[in-house]
Amino acid sequence: MKVLTTPIEGLFEIYPNIFEDNRGYFFESFKKNELCHNGIDKEWVQENQSFSKAGTVRGLHFQKEPFAQAKLARVLKGKVLDVVVDLRKGSVTYGAVYTKILDDIQHNMLYVPEGFAHGFSVLEDAVFSYRCSNYYNKESEGGVIWNDPKLAIDWGIAMPILSDKDQMLPTLEKFTEMTKGGI
């Protein structure tokens, strides 16, 4: 397993060692000691899975304290553009956007620490799975609008399929005002 740093502190890309032969492939999709060795020492308490049609955008979502969640995200089938935004109060990379293609060929993962908004666009029909370090709590959910012009995220989709809820989220500027500088 390779754990790679990113330009945003605490955010990691993870690539498993894949063993292929004429039968198919095998890889270790989760190995706690390898993650801990690389500074990712979380107790995962919940795992979520979704199926989304190509053209869907989900996000950008987060959970506020005391239910903030770190996530370990991966694609079981298909291909997505995974997107995170640093919303950590006082972070030198506050408002920074990071994107990574996750797919069922590389079987790569993204470790997203607490304090980030997270979302993804579905480039091919996809089954998306992510482990969470805390339980979901409806009263603690929040988000930032997916198409915020200041974030200028290229989701790779011209006419996205969106939920009503995701279309009502605030801009980063409004979110920053409301929270006095982040979560």
Number of domains in the chain: 1
Residue at 81 is within a domain: yes
pLDDT per residue of the chain (183 residues) written in tens, 0 to 9: 999 999 999 999 999 999 999 999 999 999 999 999 999 999 999 999 999 999 999 999 999 999 999 999 999 999 999 999 999 999 999 999 999 999 999 999 999 999 999 999 999 999 999 999 999 999 999 999 999 999 999 999 999 999 999 999 999 999 999 999 999
Domain that holds residue 79: 43-179
In a domain, 107, yes or no: yes
Active-site residue identified among 25, 37, 61, 118: 61
pLDDT on residue 95 = 97
Annotation says 130 is catalytic: yes
Residue 31 domain-assigned (yes or no): no
What is the pTM assigned to this prediction?
Answer: 0.95
Rounded Cα distance, 118 and 96, in Å = 12
As given in the structure block, the two tokens for residue 34 are: 């390898």
pLDDT at 9: 96
Domain contains 92: yes
**pLDDT value at residue 167:** 97
In a domain, 35, yes or no: no
Q: Which of the following is catalytic: 107, 130, 135, 136?
A: 130
Q: Does the annotation mark 37 as catalytic? A: no
Residue 67 burial by Cβ neighbours in a 10 Å radius (0-12, 13-18, 19+): middle
* CATH number of 94's domain: 2.60.120.10
